[in-house]
Structures are given as C-alpha cells and as structure tokens.
C-alpha cells in the first residue's frame, strides 16, 4: 500500500531503519479516520486488522461496549509470534521482513497518522521530539524534520483525534442509553465507525 | 483497479500470491527498489529456470542462465507467500505494495490476443470469479500493452547484457550485483526517456508498439520504419532513445563491439507460471 510520492528526509531515515522497533515496541492506537481509510483502501473490515484493549475511562479515544464503566481502545493487531504466541512486543500486523531481515511497513504512506508523526509532538504549539525509546539505530533530532511539514501533520493528527473523540462520544452516549445489561460486540462498534466516517466523507464530498 | 469494478480478489484465498513464482522485469524491480528505497537483493531471488526464456541473463559464457523473481517469505517452501504479502488476522490478506506490484500481477488473470483482452483459463481464481463484461476493458488493455512494452524492453536489455557478457575479455563470472546495477542504471535512464514524452505522444507510441507486436514485430529489434500504421515522429525517436539508454547503461569495457540481440522468437505475453525456485 505504498504511496509513490517523494519521501521526506524523515521518511528516508525511517525507511532505512532496519529494525523498526517502534512497530513492535508500541501498541498503535490509530484515529477513527485512520481506521476508516485503511478499511476502505484495503477493502477489509476494521475488526479484521485491529484488536481492542482496556483503556482509562477518561481517555478521549475510549469506547464502551455496555453500560458498565469499562472502556476500551482500538489498536492495530500484532503478528503472533510462532513460538511465543501473542505478545505486546510482537510486531505490528502490517510489518513484514525482507530477505535480509530488514523490516518494512506494508502500509507506507497509508500508515496511521500517529506513526507518520512519530516521534515528534506539538507541545503548546511548539514542535518537539517526544519519547522515542523504541529507536535502536539513531537518536531523532529536530534537524531531521521539515518543521513546517511536520507541524502540519501534527495539527492534522490533533484534528483527527478531536473528530474521533466526537464520534466516540456519540457511540458511548448511545450505549449508555441502552437498557442495563445490553452489551454490544466489537464488530458492531467497528461497523458503527465505518458508517460514521463514511457519512462524514459523503457529507464533505456532497 | 477501481473499487467499483467487479473483482473477486477481496474475498479470494489469494493463492496466486503464494502458488506462483512471480518473475519480474527490470522495470518492476527498479520501480519497487526506487520507490521503497530498497536494494533489489532485499526482495529478489535469482534462479535457473528449467526452460531458458528471453528474460534469462547469463553471468559468464557458459550455458547457465538466470531469471529474477520476487522472494518468498520462507524461501525453503515452494508455496510460501510472496515477500510483500501482508497476512492479516481472520484469514484476510493483502498485497503490501499494491500500487507498485509487478506488471505480471497487475494484468493477472488477463492476457492480450489479437488486440483483445482475454481471461486465462488456467487462473487460480475462484471459478467464474471474473466476468469480462464487468471489467473496465480499455483500462485493462492499456495495462496489458504497457506490460508487453516493458517485457520487450527488458528482453532487449537482457539480450544486450548477454552479448556484453560474451564480449568480455575476462573468463570469470560477473557478480550478480553488477547485473542488478545495470538494471538500476538502465531504468533510471529509461525513466527520463518516458518523462520526456508528452502524454499525447506517449499514447501514440504505445499504440504504435501495440500495432507492431500484433504483427509479430518486436520494435526494438526491427529496423526503422518496420511495423504497422503511420508512425508519429515520436516513434522512431523513442526507439533510438531506448536503444541508446541500454547501450549507455552497460558496464564499460568490451574489446569487441556489442551486437544488438536478434529476434529469435515471437513476442509472447508475460504470464505468471507455476514453477519452483530451485534450492
């Protein structure tokens, strides 16, 4: 799913990284728009490449499946280790290894915004380097980035997160209004996300 | 492929990405390598086919010749998934380089005969999975013509390479990396040649190329003016530029003149074939 545009200097550094430990070290929590974009492009339902994990109740990207206080978060699935089974440190399901062991993201330009912006963050509007303890081949520096381009990406990520939070608030309100004991399953939730984003897309296009 | 077009790939078991050995042209290898910033060695394997083809290159003056194919995830297994295969949970799977996938994958399971798009009868796709009536045929046809053009350019390039190997003063084998370096240099030059063509001229020369191959004339091997139809001025210029690019990309050295390859067989459609990579 690689895009064919000219990569930035940051993307070149990332492409040349052999291990791509960030793709194993972290659980990647995409925005709803990332999920919808992936599902649309790959023609695969959201539940087929994600799992849900426990999340703090006050997290902006937390969703409910029943009227209890339990909240969850969508993360990209991990590739189960053949010997060790499913592990937190297992590689992302979209990561592949080439003949010489070099790791490559199969999503390329389609990868979630949080992956594209890693490891930079916006702190009170200021572009900074965030925690990048997963990196093994070099230490990231601001000089590796195109400041304007990176800031635009981070602002877009913030916008997508705000949009996702609104979509989830609507879902959570719907779940809360259901009679006590009524539980939704994850597939239902994924279908809701797909429909919600498709409607938003159609409204924008129309 | 547009999403509105009928395609059975989304719900298929994707055997084509596992059962076939995906042989590639130099163009495919160059495109993947440059777009993904990879060394060709990272995703290609070299193998000796049972039956040598016009895409087989030699590294010395012996009869041993090789072809290149996409590597498999597990190179010990004949039916392992392609190195670019993304296996997703719940039995889903997708090509990880879809926009860059080799031409032979892009045109599968169709082929061109007498200028018409046909479906392969030996395809691994679900029975009656494809319906020609529901395909965007002009788009498929353009893709097939482009694939054929690239295949013929590659055959010409391989022929020139093999002649260069024969003309070398040294007896020792050329390292395989030199061949891949030749492909990189060649297709970087060819990219410039194609970029120099306006979209209108590009369409014209592709039509001209298609007309030639329908009459079994391989344009790069034919003399000037041979072929069907009224050639545009871009046509002879393109052929000269393509031949020059190949000549310039060859490693420096030969003592003797390098002969252009001769046409030895009819142009044939590149197709995915089932055969194992020898260990």
Per-residue pLDDT of chain B (279 residues; tens, 9 = 90+): 344 456 778 777 768 898 899 999 999 999 999 998 899 999 999 999 999 999 999 999 999 999 999 999 877 776 789 999 988 888 888 899 988 999 999 999 999 988 889 999 888 888 878 888 888 999 999 999 999 999 999 999 999 999 999 998 888 899 999 999 999 999 999 999 999 999 999 988 998 888 888 887 788 887 655 555 555 678 888 999 999 999 999 998 654 555 667 665 555 666 666 554 443
Residue B2 lies in a domain: no
Residue B3 lies in a domain: no
Residue B38 lies in a domain: yes
Distances (CA, A) of A171 to A164, A191, A196: 11, 11, 10
Q: Which of A7, A12, A94 sits opposite B86 (nearest CB)?
A: A94
CA dist A169 and A155 (Å) reads 21
For the cut 80, the answer to whether the pLDDT of residue A29 exceeds it is yes
The per-residue pLDDT for B3 is 45
Distances (CA, A) of B102 to A75, A198, B43, B94: 31, 31, 12, 14
Q: What is the pTM assigned to this prediction?
A: 0.82
Task: Decide which of A178 and A57 is more confident.
Answer: A57
3-state helix, strand, coil in chain A (%, to 5): 45, 15, 40
The per-residue pLDDT for B107 is 94
A121-152 per-position pLDDT tens digit: 998 889 998 876 667 777 888 888 889 999 99
Residue B250 lies in a domain: yes
Contact A113, A119 (CB under 8 A): no
A98 and B35: CB-CB below 8 Å?
no
Predicted-complex ipTM score:
0.74
Phi and psi torsions of B241, nearest 5°:
-65, -40
Domain membership of residue B245 as a residue range: 8-276
Q: Please report residues of A whose CB lies closer than 8 A to that of B86.
A: 93-94, 96, 106
Q: Please report residues of A whose CB lies closer than 8 A to that of B35.
A: 2, 4
Q: Please report residues of A whose CB lies closer than 8 A to that of B89.
A: 48-49, 77, 93
Q: How many domains does chain B divide into?
A: 1
């Amino acid at each position: 799913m690689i895009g064919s545009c000219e990569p930035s200097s940051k993307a070149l550094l990332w492409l040349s990284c052999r291990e791509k430990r960030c793709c194993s070290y972290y659980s990647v929590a995409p925005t709803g728009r990332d999920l919808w974009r992936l599902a649309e492009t790959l023609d695969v339902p959201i539940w087929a490449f994600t799992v849900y994990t426990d999340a703090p109740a006050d997290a902006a990207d937390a969703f409910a499946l029943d009227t209890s206080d339990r909240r969850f978060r969508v993360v990209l699935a991990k590739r189960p280790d053949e010997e060790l089974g499913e592990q937190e440190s297992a590689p992302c399901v979209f990561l592949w290894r080439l003949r010489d062991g070099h790791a490559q993201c199969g999503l390329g330009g389609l990868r979630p915004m949080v992956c594209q912006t890693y490891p930079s963050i916006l702190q009170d509007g200021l572009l900074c380097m965030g925690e990048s303890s997963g990196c093994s081949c070099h230490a990231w520096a601001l000089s590796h980035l195109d400041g304007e381009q990176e800031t635009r990406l981070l602002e877009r990520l913030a916008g997508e997160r705000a949009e996702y939070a609104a979509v989830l608030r609507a879902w959570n309100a719907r779940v809360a209004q259901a009679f006590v004991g009524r539980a939704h399953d994850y597939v239902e939730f994924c279908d809701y996300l797909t429909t919600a984003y498709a409607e938003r897309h159609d409204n924008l296009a129309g | 492929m547009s999403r509105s077009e009928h395609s059975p790939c989304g719900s298929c078991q994707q055997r084509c990405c596992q059962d076939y050995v995906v042989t590639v042209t130099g163009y495919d290898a160059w495109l993947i390598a440059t777009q993904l910033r990879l060394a060709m060695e990272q995703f290609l394997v070299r193998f000796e086919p049972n039956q040598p083809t016009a895409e087989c290159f030699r590294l010395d003056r012996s009869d041993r010749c090789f072809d290149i194919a996409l590597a498999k995830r597990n190179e010990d297994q004949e039916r392992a998934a392609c190195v670019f295969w993304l296996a997703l949970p719940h039995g889903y799977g997708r090509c990880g380089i879809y926009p860059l996938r080799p031409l032979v994958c892009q045109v599968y399971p169709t082929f061109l005969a007498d200028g018409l798009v046909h479906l392969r009868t030996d395809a691994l796709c679900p029975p009656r999975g494809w319906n020609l009536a529901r395909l965007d045929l002009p788009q498929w046809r353009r893709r097939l013509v482009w694939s054929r053009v690239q295949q013929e350019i590659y055959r010409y390039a391989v022929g020139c390479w093999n002649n260069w190997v024969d003309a070398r003063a040294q007896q020792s084998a050329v390292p395989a990396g030199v061949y891949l370096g030749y492909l990189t240099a060649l297709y970087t030059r060819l990219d410039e040649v194609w970029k120099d063509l306006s979209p209108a001229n590009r369409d014209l020369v592709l039509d001209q190329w298609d007309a030639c191959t329908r009459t079994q004339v391989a344009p790069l091997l034919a003399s000037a003016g041979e072929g069907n139809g009224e050639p545009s001025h871009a046509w002879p210029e393109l052929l000269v530029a393509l031949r020059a690019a190949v000549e310039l990309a060859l490693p420096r050295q030969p003592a003797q003149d390098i002969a252009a390859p001769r046409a030895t067989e009819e142009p044939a459609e590149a197709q995915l074939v089932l055969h194992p990579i020898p260990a």
